[in-house]
């Protein structure tokens, strides 16, 4: 990568540094001591200066801070300003921790709030004089410093009854103990100190400080200090400290600046690879030295001193004994189970749950949490996409939904799935399990369908929500039962089905319900209170929802995310046999489905499988084939629904069918407003007609469209065949856009397919039609065709490209498909877009037209979860010359082809597989490479003998030229050994980027051991990896053995004078080296002069970038004048 640098860096005035120091002094005292210690360890403060801070004229640091904060700020600012590139990282880390702590204290969770409230009420019990004495003893004497030095003092002094998971309770007895301890501490004090004027309790005014005990040890270290694994006491000011008015410094002079790049958090922009920073965590990383972790759960610091791992999970609490339930509670549960069994036993179309339900697997999913301006992208891009092999290994069945193998409680669960995948059926099945006694951990199950709830009405209490709005029988003694529910929240399961029907998600987690009693709230506030444990803490929440962008704020905080799988081919066959009771009909129906490959692929969606079976059941002739597109399928099915309703009731025939255009208009308006609710005033007969036909479904007092597909088909009919929607409106709402944000999400994908399908139909279908004679459908078709052909296909993201493929398929127009194929880029990427069987069929179908155009493509299938069987279909296409898929899945494909004796296709699959360029951003990009290398070396597959096709190894490894290792400081050190294992086999590698992975000296030594294998390497980036002199010494000897190396970056490491000298010794022997970047290391003018002297013997070098703040500016300018190739940037 090329990086542009400005000639002169941005300078930071001393006043700005002083301001940052003032802010840092506002942090809590424990953070401040850790901050000063880390600045000392980083050699920002000299040892004499550091010691002088703690004993200055008999004053402690705490006294100096309170008496003359400004003087202390000035004293600290000068050395910090002089070494600002190091200091800023440490200051930012301290301020970030302070902000996190403030956020915790200002908006605590329910448990923490209870803790603080308990202490507040306890302090109110103490006499005012005693409270004053407590605070004065902390702030005016050395007692506070003793606490920082030995936190066990607090446990001794505040030694009253306290549970590990609750706040301390200050009773009158506790107060007496506290008073005795304080008196004992004061007796040991020096007489001179006792005569001092007591320090004010709060020098800026306001109420007294609060002392709270956290529920456990702090979860992460403060700065780099070791936090004891014991109770932690936090002293909190209830009022924020306002910033001190800035005073211009006296010395250094105003306008004095510190040299370069002092405005960034870690190191200035200017490395050879800017993209590597994507793997970094959101907080700054200490670059002093790498940390090693051993298998005994003990962190080993760089100096060899072990420390206890404070992040180890706490022990699980003992199981709570369930109290005896009153008779009224037992009676309610006894009546609730058969009631729920009766409600949840029916499926769509009159089918029974017991007879037709197909058990489906669930896949645990994790969110890839992003930070920055793009953090709110759609959920599909944030979910970590698993490979097909990983999905198969991690499958769970229904009985494991509530199992918890984690150290923390599993109180919130989300079941995710697209429309029709069976989320509601899964919820019904879980409720039936409870009714039959399978879910014994729950006494109560409350099922709420969000389509039935009035989400805007502020008239619901928690009791009303659970007993009046859920699927439950009428409870005569609801007060007594609700009281039992409040006393045993861990026995309660609350289910929100169709959670995505909550339209307004803005502020969903704000203003949560606080009281479980009779206070009135909206449904959203009640959900927020339950979710944030403000009310009924300890209950289990289960939501079923489609993945939607606006739900990110909720899903990120869920304890468990489970994705519901689609039907497998075996499930499709099983469902068909259950749907058709007659064995002869079963065979014919299954044969028809399998003959239409597209229909068979969409039957992986249970709703579409039922739709197909419904159409087969009601076809007029046995010889009639199934439709070939989704548009035609739903036209026929919707028409069949209306016909059946008309046959059942002759009064609902033609007169009411004339009102179908009104229904279509309502569907279109609902699509634009993200609403499935239907409200047709003045036409109850039409509503009844639609309810009987299965187009609408009743949910309490409201009616909704039965499913998204029916609503979108009717809406598409209105947009295409009604004059109320012109070409401009049609293009704005229902056609693939270049970059416009998709507001409707999945619904818009279906609408786009239906609109293009209806526009390009050659003849009027046997289905629903509302064609207005005044509408020019051809004009709308021309507008859509022109729009699609004008799209810049090489700029479409993978999801939009897939949408376009589906729209083109729905047209069934080969000519139009070829026009678009001509514009497709040579490199197709679906990376990051999850592909199902119907997606793969559509892609294959369209690419097959490319044979007549003599077009070939490479295709990126990384992060797509493509099934191995579908991967095989794509790879076997003649127009696909190369593909990149998950390495583990690719090896599984090879084995599948080998075992089926399909050697010709095996050869093609091996030769087409590519890795170049390999950009490793996740662990699985690297972890399967050693197996690939083993195949390459042994010339055989893992479960096979010698494979002739592998006689020359794996071409993907032989041809790999560029590798970017971007796993970051969290995952990089763990995966780096696997990279070292692979590198010797990459003999064609020319570009190796390992920036910001914190490999340290040990990693540099490992890399040095394999560099001699990389005979073609031209570009090596080892920037910001905590490499010191020991690592550089090993690297320097190895770099000489890489004769082709032209560019080397060691930017931002820990190289001192000895390391610079090692580089200087080998520099003349690196004959082809043109650029060396060693900026922002730790060597002084001594090391700089060594490198400058070596540069004189390197006539082929074009640049040497060596500036850092340890080199006096005058010395650097002198070196630059001697040799202009020496640069600062």
**Mean pLDDT, range 599-627, rounded to an integer:** 89
Of residues 149 and 757, more confidence is placed in 757
> Of 174-183, 466-475, 779-788, where does mean pLDDT reach its minimum?
174-183
Residues 6+ apart with CB under 8 A from 147: 138, 153, 154, 233
Which range among 500-504, 527-531, 1031-1035 shows the weakest confidence by mean pLDDT? 500-504
Residue appearing with tokens 């009310």: 535
Give the Cα separation of 106 and 109 in Å (integer): 10
Please compute the mean of the pLDDT values over residues 987-998 and round it to a whole number. Answer: 94
More confident residue, 164 or 692: 692
pLDDT of residue 210: 46
pLDDT at 646 over 60: yes
Give pLDDT, residue 148: 44
Is the pLDDT at 1071 greater than 80, yes or no?
yes
Residue scoring higher pLDDT (412 or 201): 412
The CA distance from 930 to 922, in Å, is 15
**Where does 583-712 show beta strands of DSSP type E?**
677-678, 696-699, 702-705
* 865 pLDDT tier (thresholds 50, 70, 90): very high
With 90 as the cut, is the pLDDT of residue 314 above it? no
pLDDT given at position 651: 54
Q: How confident is the model at residue 16 (pLDDT cuts 50, 70, 90)?
A: confident
At residue 457, the pLDDT reads 76
Q: Judge whether residue 382 has pLDDT over 80.
A: no
Which tokens hold the place of 1090?
């060594």
Q: Cβ neighbours of residue 810 under 8 Å, at least 6 residues apart?
A: 629, 630, 631, 753, 754, 756, 757, 760
Q: Which two tokens stand for residue 360?
A: 């489906």
Measured CA to CA, the distance from residue 909 to residue 412 in angstroms comes to 43
| pLDDT exceeds cutoff 50 at 253 | no
pLDDT at 847: 93
pLDDT band, residue 301 (cuts 50/70/90): very low
| φ, ψ for residue 860, nearest 5 deg | -100, 115
Burial 385-397 (b: 16+ CB within 10 A, else e): bbbbbbbeeeeee
Q: Between these two residues, 1039 and 91, which has the higher pLDDT value?
A: 1039
> Given this model, what pLDDT does residue 697 score?
87
Rounded mean pLDDT of 887-899? Answer: 93
Residue 1 has pLDDT above 70, yes or no: no
- Give residue 76's pLDDT: 85
Residue with tokens 């909550």: 502
Q: 139 and 199 in contact (C-beta within 8 Å)?
A: yes
**Percent with pLDDT over 90 in the chain:** 45
The mean per-residue pLDDT over the stretch 552-575 comes to 90
pLDDT digits (tens, 9 = 90+) for 771-824: 555 678 889 999 999 999 999 999 999 999 999 999 999 999 999 999 999 999
E strand or H helix at 1067: none
Q: How confident is the model at residue 461 (pLDDT cuts 50, 70, 90)?
A: very high
Q: What's the pLDDT band for 234 if we cut at 50, 70, 90? A: very low
The per-residue pLDDT for 446 is 97
Cα Rg of the chain, angstroms: 35
Higher-scoring residue by pLDDT: 106, 1101:
1101
User: Is residue 654 very low, low, confident or very high in pLDDT (cuts 50, 70, 90)?
Assistant: low
Above 60 in pLDDT, residue 762? yes
128-171 residue pLDDT tens: 555 455 555 544 444 444 544 454 444 444 444 444 333 343 44
pLDDT of 86 > 80? The answer is: no
C-alpha–C-alpha distance, residues 909 and 875, integer Å: 6
- Per residue in 517-527, pLDDT (tens digit) is 878 898 889 99
Q: What is the pLDDT of residue 140?
A: 45
Average pLDDT for residues 217-236, to the nearest whole number?
Answer: 39
Q: How far is the C-alpha of 464 from the C-alpha of 466, rounded, in Å?
A: 6
Q: What's the mean per-residue pLDDT of the chain?
A: 78
Residue 430 and residue 441 in contact, taking contact as beta carbons nearer than 8 Å: no
pLDDT at 920 over 80: yes
Report how far residue 694's alpha carbon sits from residue 689's, in angstroms, rounded to the nearest whole number.
9
Q: What is the 3-state secondary structure (H, E, C) of 35-88?
A: HHHHHHHCCCCCHHHHHHCCCECCECHHHHHHHCHHHHHHHHHHHHHHCHHHHH
Is residue 567 scored above 90 in pLDDT?
yes
Give the residue from 786, 844, 795 showing the smallest Cα distance to 820: 786
Torsional sign, CA 809, 810, 812, 815:
negative
**Tokens matching residue 883:** 């593909």
Under the banding of pLDDT at 50, 70 and 90, the label for residue 750 is: very high
For residues 804 and 783, the answer to whether their CB atoms sit within 8 Å is no
Q: Please tell me the distance from the alpha carbon of residue 285 to that of residue 998, in angstroms, as a whole number.
A: 10
User: pLDDT grade, residue 675 (50/70/90)?
Assistant: confident
Confidence class for position 455, pLDDT limits 50, 70, 90: confident
> Between these two residues, 841 and 70, which has the higher pLDDT value?
841
Q: How confident is the model at residue 672 (pLDDT cuts 50, 70, 90)?
A: confident
**Residue 22 predicted with pLDDT over 50:** yes
**Spacing of C-alpha 379 from chain mean position:** 8
Q: What is the DSSP string of 183-242?
A: HHHHHTS-HHHHTSPPPPS-TT-SSPPEEEE-SSS-SS-STTPPPPSS--EEEE-SSPPP
How many angstroms separate the CA atoms of 179 and 22, rounded? 36
Among the listed residues 775, 778, 790, the one whose alpha carbon sits nearest the alpha carbon of residue 735: 790
Which one is predicted more confidently, 698 or 490?
A: 490
Cβ count near 818 (within 10 Å): 15
- Backbone φ and ψ for 560, nearest 5 degrees, come out as -150, 130
Q: Which residue has the higher pLDDT, 662 or 99?
A: 662
Contact 874, 830 (CB under 8 A): no
322-334: buried (b, 16+ CB within 10 Å) or exposed (e) per residue? eeebeebbeebee
Write the CA distances from 240 to 28, 115, 123, 839, integer angstroms.
Answer: 12, 20, 21, 55
Q: Return the minimum-mean-pLDDT range out of 393-407, 410-424, 729-743, 867-881.
A: 729-743
In 357-411, beta strands by DSSP E: 362-365
652 pLDDT band, cuts 50/70/90, is: low
User: pLDDT band at 7, cuts 50/70/90?
Assistant: very low
Q: What pLDDT does residue 763 have?
A: 66
Phi, psi dihedral angles at 413 (to 5 degrees): -135, 135
pLDDT at 704 over 50: yes
């Amino acid at each position: 990568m090329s990086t542009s640098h400005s000639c002169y860096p941005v300078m930071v005035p001393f006043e700005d540094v002083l301001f940052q120091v003032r802010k840092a002094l506002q942090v809590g005292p424990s953070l401040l001591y850790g901050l000063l210690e880390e600045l000392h360890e980083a050699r920002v403060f000299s040892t004499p200066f550091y010691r002088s801070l703690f004993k200055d004229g008999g004053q402690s640091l705490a006294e100096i801070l309170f008496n003359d904060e400004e003087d202390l700020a000035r004293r600290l600012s000068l050395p910090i300003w002089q070494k600002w590139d190091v200091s800023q990282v440490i200051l930012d880390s301290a301020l970030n921790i302070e902000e996190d702590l403030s956020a915790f204290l200002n908006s605590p969770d329910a448990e923490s709030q209870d803790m603080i409230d308990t202490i507040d009420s306890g302090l109110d019990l103490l006499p005012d004089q005693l409270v004053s004495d407590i605070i004065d003893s902390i702030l005016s004497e050395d007692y506070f410093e003793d606490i920082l030095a030995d936190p066990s003092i607090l446990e001794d002094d505040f030694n009253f009854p306290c549970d590990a998971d609750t706040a301390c309770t200050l009773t009158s007895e506790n107060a007496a103990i506290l008073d005795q301890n304080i008196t004992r501490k004061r007796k040991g004090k020096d007489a001179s100190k006792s005569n001092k004027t007591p320090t004010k309790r709060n020098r800026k005014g306001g109420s007294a400080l609060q002392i709270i005990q956290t529920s456990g040890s702090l979860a992460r270290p403060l700065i780099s200090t070791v936090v004891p694994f014991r109770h932690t006491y936090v002293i909190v000011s209830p009022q924020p400290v306002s910033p001190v008015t800035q005073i211009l410094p006296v010395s250094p002079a105003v306008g004095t600046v510190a040299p370069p790049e002092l405005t960034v958090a870690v190191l200035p922009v200017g490395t050879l690879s800017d993209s590597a920073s994507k793997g970094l965590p959101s907080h700054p990383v200490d670059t002093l030295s790498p940390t090693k972790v051993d298998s005994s759960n003990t962190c080993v610091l760089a100096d060899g001193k072990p420390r206890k791992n404070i992040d180890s999970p706490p022990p699980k609490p003992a199981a709570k004994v369930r109290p005896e339930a009153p008779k009224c509670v037992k009676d309610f549960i006894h009546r609730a189970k058969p009631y729920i069994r009766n409600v949840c036993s029916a499926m769509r179309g009159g089918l029974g749950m017991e007879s037709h339900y197909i058990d489906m697997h669930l896949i645990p999913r994790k969110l890839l949490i992003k930070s920055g301006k793009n953090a709110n992208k759609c959920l599909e891009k944030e979910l970590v996409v698993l490979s097909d092999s990983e999905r198969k290994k991690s499958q769970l069945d229904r009985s494991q939904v509530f199992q918890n193998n984690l150290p923390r409680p599993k109180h919130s669960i989300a079941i995710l799935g697209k429309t029709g995948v069976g989320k509601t059926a899964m919820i019904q099945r879980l409720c039936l399990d409870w009714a039959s006694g399978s879910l014994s951990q729950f006494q109560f199950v409350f099922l709420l369908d969000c389509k039935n709830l009035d989400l805007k009405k502020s008239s619901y209490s928690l009791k009303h929500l659970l007993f009046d709005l859920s699927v439950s029988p009428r409870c005569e003694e609801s007060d007594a039962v609700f009281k039992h529910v409040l006393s045993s929240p861990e026995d309660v399961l609350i289910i929100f089905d169709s959670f995505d029907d909550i339209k307004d998600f803005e502020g969903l987690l704000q203003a949560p319900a606080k009281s479980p009693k009779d206070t009135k709230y909206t449904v959203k506030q009640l959900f927020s209170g339950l979710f944030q444990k403000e009310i009924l803490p300890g209950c289990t929440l289960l939501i079923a929802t489609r993945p939607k962008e606006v739900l990110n704020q909720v899903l990120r905080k869920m304890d468990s995310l489970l994705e519901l799988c689609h039907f497998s081919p075996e499930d499709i066959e099983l469902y068909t046999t259950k749907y058709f009771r007659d064995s002869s009909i079963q065979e014919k129906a299954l044969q028809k489905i399998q003959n239409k490959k597209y229909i068979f692929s969409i039957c992986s969606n249970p709703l579409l499988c039922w739709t197909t079976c419904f159409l087969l059941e009601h076809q007029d002739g046995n010889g009639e084939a199934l439709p070939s597109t989704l548009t035609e399928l739903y036209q026929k099915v919707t028409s069949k629904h209306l016909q059946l309703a008309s046959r059942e009731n002759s009064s609902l025939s033609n007169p009411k069918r004339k009102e179908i255009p009104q229904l279509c208009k309502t569907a279109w308006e609902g699509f634009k407003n993200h609403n499935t609710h239907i409200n047709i005033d003045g036409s109850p007969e039409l509503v009844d007609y639609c309810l009987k036909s299965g187009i609408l479904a009743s949910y309490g007092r409201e009616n909704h469209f039965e499913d998204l597909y029916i609503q979108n088909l009717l809406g598409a009919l209105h947009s295409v065949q009604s004059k109320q929607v012109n070409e401009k409106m049609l293009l704005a709402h229902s056609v693939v856009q270049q970059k416009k944000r998709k507001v409707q999400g999945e619904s818009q994908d279906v609408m786009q397919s239906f609109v293009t399908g209806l526009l390009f139909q050659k003849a009027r279908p046997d289905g629903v039609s509302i064609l207005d004679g005044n509408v020019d459908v051809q004009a709308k078709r021309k507008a859509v065709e022109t729009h699609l052909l004008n799209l810049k296909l090489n700029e479409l993201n993978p999801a939009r490209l897939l949408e376009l493929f589906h729209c083109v398929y729905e047209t069934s127009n080969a000519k139009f498909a070829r026009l678009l194929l001509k514009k497709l880029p040579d490199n197709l990427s679906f990376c990051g877009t999850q592909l199902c069987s119907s997606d793969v069929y559509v892609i294959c179908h369209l690419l097959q037209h490319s044979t007549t155009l003599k077009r070939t493509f490479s295709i990126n299938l990384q992060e797509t979860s493509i099934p191995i069987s579908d991967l095989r279909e794509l790879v076997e296409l003649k127009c696909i010359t190369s593909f990149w898929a998950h390495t583990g899945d690719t090896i599984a494909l090879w084995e599948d082809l080998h075992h089926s004796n399909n050697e010709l296709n095996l050869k093609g699959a091996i030769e087409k597989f590519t890795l170049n360029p390999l950009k490793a951003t996740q662990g699985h990009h690297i972890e399967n490479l050693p197996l690939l290398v083993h195949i390459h070396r042994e010339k055989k597959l893992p479960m096979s003998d010698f494979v002739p096709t592998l006689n020359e190894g794996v071409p993907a490894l032989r041809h790999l030229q560029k590798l970017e290792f971007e796993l970051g400081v969290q995952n990089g050190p763990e995966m780096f050994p696997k990279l070292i294992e692979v590198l010797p086999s990459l003999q064609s590698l020319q570009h190796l980027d390992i920036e910001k992975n914190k490999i340290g000296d040990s990693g540099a030594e490992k890399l040095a051991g394999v560099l001699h294998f990389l005979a073609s390497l031209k570009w090596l980036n080892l920037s910001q990896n905590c490499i010191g002199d020991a690592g550089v010494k090993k690297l320097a000897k190895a770099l000489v053995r890489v004769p082709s190396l032209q560019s080397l970056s060691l930017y931002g490491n820990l190289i001192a004078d000895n390391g610079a000298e090692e580089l200087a010794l080998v520099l003349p022997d690196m004959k082809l080296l043109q650029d060396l970047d060693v900026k922002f290391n730790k060597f002084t003018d001594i090391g700089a002069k060594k490198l400058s002297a070596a540069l004189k013997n390197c006539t082929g070098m074009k640049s040497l970038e060596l500036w850092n703040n340890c080199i006096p500016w005058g010395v650097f300018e002198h070196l630059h004048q001697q040799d202009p190739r020496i640069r600062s940037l």
